[in-house]
Amino acid sequence: MLTKYDEYPLHQISDTFAAVQSGYQHWNDGHYICFCDMDGEISVVTTLRLYQNNDVMDGFSCVRHEGKQYNLRVSRRLRPAIDDFSVGPMRLEIIEPMKLVRLTVGENDFGVSMDIVCETAAAPYEDPISVSRVDGRLLSERAVYEVVGRLEGHVTVNGKRYNVTKDRWYCFRNHSWGFMPGRGGPRQHAAPPLVPPARQQGLRNWVLYLMSDYGGFYQFSEDPKGKRRSMEGEILTPTWDRTQPKVKFVDAKHDLQFYGTTRRLKGGSI
Name the pLDDT band for 246 (thresholds 50, 70, 90): confident
Q: What is the pLDDT of residues 95-148, one digit of tens each?
A: 999 999 999 999 998 889 999 999 999 999 999 888 888 888 787 889 999 999
* pLDDT at residue 194 in the model: 77
* pLDDT at residue 138 in the model: 80
Q: What is the pLDDT of residues 9-55, one digit of tens each?
A: 988 888 898 888 888 788 999 999 999 999 989 999 999 999 999 99
Predicted TM-score (pTM) of the model is: 0.88
Name the pLDDT band for 186 (thresholds 50, 70, 90): low
The pLDDT of residue 198 is above 70: no
* Boundaries of every domain in the chain: 24-181, 202-270
Q: What is the CA radius of gyration of the chain?
A: 20
One DSSP character per residue, the chain reads ---GGGGSS---SSS-TT--S---TT-EEEEEEEEEETTSSEEEEEEEEEETTTTEEEEEEEEEETTEEEEEEEEEE-SS-TT--EETTEEEEEEETTTEEEEEE---TTSEEEEEEEEE-SPPEEPPPEEEEETTEEEEEEEEEEEEEEEEEEEEETTEEEEE-TTTEEEEEEEEEEE-TTSSSSPPP-PPPSSPPPP--SEEEEEEEE-SS-EEEEEEEE-TT--EEEEEEEEE-S---TTSPP-B--------EESTTSS-EEE---
* CATH architecture of the domain covering 24-181: Beta Barrel (2.40)
C-alpha 250/C-alpha 23 separation (Å) is 37
Whether 147 and 173 have beta carbons less than 8 Å apart is answered as yes
- Give every CB contact of residue 91 below 8 A, 6+ residues apart in sequence: 85, 102, 103, 104, 105, 106
* pLDDT at residue 260 in the model: 86
Name the pLDDT band for 235 (thresholds 50, 70, 90): very high
Name the pLDDT band for 239 (thresholds 50, 70, 90): confident
